[in-house]
Amino acid sequence: MFLLAVRLDTSVHGDEHSKLFNLYWDFIKNKKYYTFIIFFLIIWALALIKEIYDKNLLVVYISLFSIFTTLYLMIKIHVQKQH
């Protein structure tokens, strides 16, 4: 019974948070902010490369792979929209 109450509470709070954060994340759909986002992801990738050099953890490699995938897709879209 307790787990059911926790699940319901979590789902209600998750729904409220998704509505709240959806308002703040609308700028990502705007193509004029892609340059800033790409720059931010490059800095983040460099920080992860430093973490790989320091700690050499598998989780950091997975994070770096996802950032490189996101960078590739965003740069591809950004270049296609300009031409």
Phi-psi region of 56 (alpha: psi -120 to 50; beta: other; left: phi over 0): left
Which token pair is 19? 């509505």
CA-CA distance, 77 to 74, in Å (whole number)?
A: 5
Q: What is the pLDDT of residues 19-39, one digit of tens each?
A: 666 656 676 777 788 888 899
DSSP result, 40-64? HHHHHHHHHHHHHHHH--HHHHHHH
- Give the global pTM: 0.67
Query: At residue 6, does pLDDT exceed 50?
Result: no
Closest CA to 64 of 47, 40, 81: 47
